[in-house]
Amino acid sequence: MTNAEGQPIPVIIDCDTGVDDALALLFAVRHPGLDLRAVTCVAGNTDVDGVVRNTLTVLEQAGAPDIPVARGAALPLIEPARSARHVHGEDGMGDIGLPAPTRAPADVDAVTLLRREILASPRPVTLIPTAPLTNIALLLRTHPEVTRNIERIVFMGGAVATGNATPVAEFNVWHDPEAAAIALTAGVPITMYGLDVFQRVVVPGADVRRLRASTEPGARLAGDLLSHRPATPDVAADSEAGGIGDAGAVCTVVDPAGITTRLLPVEVSLAPGPTRGQTIVDRRPRPGESEIHTGVREQALVDVALDVDVARFVKLYLTTVEG
């Protein structure tokens, strides 16, 4: 998949690498239809310095060209940082013993790099945040002019049905709800690749074992990372099966037909208490008593992923990463 002119799609990934962010980076650097112009890092799965280190290591192991990587927000806009080390390990990369990178980060911060790369791109850029949206919110508030050269935002985050950080909130949105609300209402076309689809794309154990046995470092790394991804209940019997997680959001940029979406009103709950960080997706066929009595609330229209062709994305992921 390329854009309408047959050229690779310019993309920037904003991530909190992160086992599945690493899977997303591996895919992005190996897909010929994508032109990964920069990677920006934000606190999330682990602290921001750990994210920078992990991101540089992954790009190096993948044999990626010298793509600029910048350090971004160390803290959410309001909340404290709350890592997901219980899922991603002490080093944020599954503690699989990856070497320290020899590459260095850019000497500018993430917001500066985002602005520079977006405005310098000859074609509008697709932003792919796979992390809390702190960097993106800071960018949109600091340099709102960038929206003129953003094609769309495809973010991993939110949930239509069930959360993971809380019963109703997904981690990336829960970690920085205000930032998510800013991104959703920026007036840029936005696709939500939420938990409902994120959790379903699982690579079978036999494929993971083949990747792990590969002599090619990038493919082997993908296998090691996948085997670290916790199996969902559906594949519990297949202990090495692993979800591609954030990489699914990148797959949707290459292959939009792999997901079924609907343009729906979405609001991020900013209220303190049990709903904080929930993405409230309005799937009602008609307005209800609330709208009749008190008027329509201002909500962003978001292209929400409701279904995913699992076999299609697994195949796309494997063929891309294995070359």
Decide whether 170 or 309 has the Cβ nearer to ligand BDR: 170
Q: Which residues in the 10-49 window bind Ca ion by CB under 5 A?
A: 16, 18, 21
Distance between start and end Cα atoms, the chain: 15
Site string for ligand BDR, 33-72 (x = CB under 6 A): ------------x---------------------------
Q: How far apart are CA 140 and CA 135, in angstroms?
A: 9
Q: Does 130 bind Ca ion (CB under 5 A)?
A: yes
Q: Which of 59, 114, 131, 160 binds Ca ion (CB under 5 A)?
A: 131
Q: Does 14 bind ligand BDR (CB under 6 A)?
A: no
Q: Cα dist. 289→24, 264, 295, 296, 297 in Å?
A: 42, 19, 9, 10, 12
Q: Does 85 bind ligand BDR (CB under 6 A)?
A: no
Decide whether 156 or 316 has the Cβ nearer to ligand BDR: 156
Q: How far apart are CA 317 and CA 323, in angstroms?
A: 10
Q: How far apart are CA 81 and CA 101, in angstroms?
A: 24
Helices (H), 154-216: 171-175, 177-184, 195-198, 205-212
Q: Does 156 bind ligand BDR (CB under 6 A)?
A: yes
Q: How far apart are CA 8 and CA 34, in angstroms?
A: 5
Q: Which residues in the 119-138 window bind ligand BDR by CB under 6 A?
A: 130-131
Closest CA to 70 of 135, 126, 120, 119: 135
Inter-residue contact 81 to 47 (CB < 8 Å): yes
Report the partner that residue 164 touches, choosing among ligand BDR, Ca ion, none (CB closer than 5 to 8 A by kind).
Answer: ligand BDR
Least distance between ligand BDR and beta carbon 101 (Å) = 19
| Binding positions for Ca ion, rule: CB under 5 A | 16, 18, 21, 130-131, 246
| Binding positions for ligand BDR, rule: CB under 6 A | 18, 20-21, 45, 84, 87, 130-131, 156, 164, 170-172, 245-246
